[in-house]
Structure 1
Amino acid sequence: MKGYSLNEIPEKSARSIRKNCNISLKDAVNIAHNLKGMNLSKAEALLDDVMNKQRPIKYFRYLDSVSHRKGYGPGRYPVRAVKQFKTLIDNVKANAEFKGLDTDSLRISLITANKGPMLKRFTPKAYGRAGANNRDMVHLSIVVEEVEE
């Protein structure tokens, strides 16, 4: 199975992949770290709060000049990246419903953000020169499994 870091995916699970997302890799890594192990409903609530700028994503990596938020520590509100994760969670929820899983008892067992291809663009400068404007794309993947309570 190319594309997942799990050797065996459990039987009562669903998965989804988004490739070539034009978002920040640093934001995506921190969002994925915050969502791992959460219930799907709690993850959706967190992403909604971040989009409304009520609760920040707590940063654990790439902390240079990241401001502290009261009660959370260093964090930001990466709305553009959160929209991609929201779509990813909606897709995996639909896949779980199609497989007949109970969507209220789904837990995120694997979520990754990996570097994808680079977009190479140029910005025109004075005297006929050009400056490089490179942007990394991001691949997102998620696996959720049904947990009996």
Structure 2
Amino acid sequence: MPRRITWKAVIAFSNHARNSWLGTQPTWKFDAKLRPVKVDFDIADDHPFAYPTVKMVRYAAVDRIPSAKSARSRGSYLRVSFKNTRETAQAINGWKLQRAVKYLENVQELKEAVPMRRYAGSTGRSAQGKQFGVSKARHPVKSAEFLLGLLKNAEANADTKGLDTSNLIVKHIQVNQAPKQRRRTYRAHGRINPYMSNPCHVELILTEADEAVTKAEDLSVSKGSRLNARQRGAQRRRAIASS
């Protein structure tokens, strides 16, 4: 027999708190007065809603990347530009660890640039962006410094786990916005301008690269040629006619 569970949601506000809260909401949302609400419905014991649970994870890709064969590193509330760090992180996503480390070192020395794809507003053009097929590129030295530290930390974790550090790749890297910090700077003639900061959270996972498997040669097609749809259709018709 299903178990009967009663869900009760009661909203109680003082007049002052109610008016203050409603004053911050769009008026079209509340065309009726707040009143106590009572909802009754039946839930079986084996129903997933009978025992509501919330699973909290520290890494976004924890479900699809096994922890036994991976090494992780993360940084929270980092005082570095979110937009520049996001673009730098996406540039090395999927790369081998040695190449990613060398690339970030080159960015710090202005030898290579970071392609600005999403957050590219007011970004100047750079010839070094041709390497990635873009015209807008920058050299976010501070973002490269923070990501380089996280990569080396993850590499040390991989070495502790006994993974082959020479065969690691950046399997997952993610940058999220952290709470913005607001300050003020005082200018001439009594003016005040914003002096804000946009920190970020960064997480990355290193895994051992899969063994490369050579694709088997297709004997039905002559080497060096590729059939289009019309040729494949004619080939099928000839095979049917001959059979």
Residue 58 of structure 2 is aligned to residue 3 of structure 1: yes
More strand by share: 1
Residue 81 of structure 2 is aligned to residue 24 of structure 1: yes
TM-score w.r.t. the length of structure 1 is: 0.91
State the 1:74 CA deviation: 1.4
Q: 1:90-105 alignment to 2 at 5 Å?
A: 90-105=152-167
Task: Call closer, same or farther: CA 1:127–1:33 in 2, change over 3 Å.
Answer: same
Q: 1:72-91 alignment to 2 at 5 Å?
A: 72=131, 73-91=135-153
Q: Which is further off, 124-133 or 137-146?
A: 124-133
State the 1:147 CA deviation: 1.8
Residue 170 of structure 2 is aligned to residue 108 of structure 1: yes
Identity of aligned residues (%): 30
Amino acid at match of 2:172: L
Q: 1:1-149 alignment to 2 at 5 Å?
A: 1-6=56-61, 7-10=63-66, 11-70=68-127, 71-72=130-131, 73-126=135-188, 130-149=192-211
State the 1:64 CA deviation: 2.1
Question: Quick one: higher RCO (CA 8 Å, sep 6+), 1 or 2?
Answer: 1
**1:72-130 per-position Cα deviation (integer Å, ceiling 9, x unaligned):** 32110000111000101011001101111010000111001110122221212456664
State the 1:60 CA deviation: 1.1
Distance in 1 of aligned mates of 2:86 and 2:99: 18
> How many residue pairs align between the two structures?
149
What 5-or-longer segments of structure 1 have no aligned partner? none
User: How much is the aligned-residue C-alpha RMSD, in angstroms?
Assistant: 1.6
